[in-house]
């Protein structure tokens, strides 16, 4: 009887280890081309036709959020991004989502709060190594990428990363 319990114990440890390796592997694959260190240059136009650059945000942490109108996870996560945008600098980039008019309609219909940059050809997403949406970068006051997340992230997780970037 004792051997059976020990066997089950080791089997559980093995299964947890395998699951952990799979999660770590998927995360490494998702982050494979994403930059670290200094953020690549980002220049574009927002939905109001105003020029946007990462230099506009120097001196304070910034949440840079890449999303797409067709992305289901992006829609579920959007309330977290909107909550942050009410009191923290957030710049969102709509990629692979059509032209400015189509994105503006989507933003109005869904009440999206942060400033939105149009990335119709995904040039900005490619520059940041984004292969999956949503992808979120926390950039500190000096322009260094401090955190990168792919997929759903909670509001608390995003706020914590922004706080850490401000230290």
Question: Do 2 and 59 share a domain, yes or no?
Answer: no
Question: Are 80 and 146 contained in the same domain?
Answer: yes
Structure tokens at 24: 């770590």
Whole-number pLDDT of residue 18: 86
pLDDT for 94 equals 97
52-55 long-range CB contacts below 8 Å, 24 or more apart?
A: 52/91, 52/115, 52/117, 54/91, 54/139, 54/143
Rounded Cα gap, residues 33 and 35, in angstroms: 6
Which structural domain, as residue segments, surrounds residue 102? Answer: 37-165
- Regarding whether 150 and 76 lie in a shared domain, the answer is yes
Identify whether residues 49 and 126 lie together within a single domain: yes
In a shared domain, residues 82 and 134: yes
| Same domain flag for 61 and 11 | no
Total domains in the chain come to 2
CATH assignment of the domain containing 139: 3.40.30.10
* Cβ neighbours of residue 110 closer than 8 Å, sequence gap 6 or more: 75, 78
pLDDT per position as a tens digit, 9-46: 788 888 888 888 888 777 777 777 777 889 999 999 99
pLDDT at 146: 96
In the numeric block, the tokens 């136009």 are attached to 45
- Residue by residue, pLDDT tens for the chain (167 residues) are 666 667 777 888 888 888 888 887 777 777 777 778 899 999 999 999 999 999 999 999 999 999 999 999 999 999 999 999 999 999 999 999 999 999 999 999 999 999 999 998 999 999 999 999 999 999 999 999 999 999 999 999 999 999 999 87
């Amino acid at each position: 009887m004792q051997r059976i319990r020990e066997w089950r114990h080791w089997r559980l440890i093995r299964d947890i280890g395998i699951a952990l390796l799979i999660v770590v592997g998927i995360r490494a694959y998702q982050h494979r081309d994403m930059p670290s260190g200094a953020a690549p240059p980002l220049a574009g136009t927002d939905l109001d036709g105003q020029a946007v650059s990462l230099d506009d945000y120097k001196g304070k942490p910034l949440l840079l959020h890449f999303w797409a109108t067709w992305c289901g996870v992006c829609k579920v996560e959007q309330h977290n991004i909107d909550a942050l945008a009410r009191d923290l600098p957030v710049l969102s980039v709509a990629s692979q989502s059509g032209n400015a008019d189509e994105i503006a309609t989507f933003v109005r219909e869904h009440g999206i709060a942060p400033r939105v940059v149009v990335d119709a050809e995904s040039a900005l997403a490619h520059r940041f190594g984004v292969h999956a949406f949503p992808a979120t970068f926390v950039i500190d006051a000096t322009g260094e990428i401090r955190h990168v997340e792919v997929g759903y992230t909670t509001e608390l997780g995003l706020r914590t990363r922004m706080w850490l970037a401000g230290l």
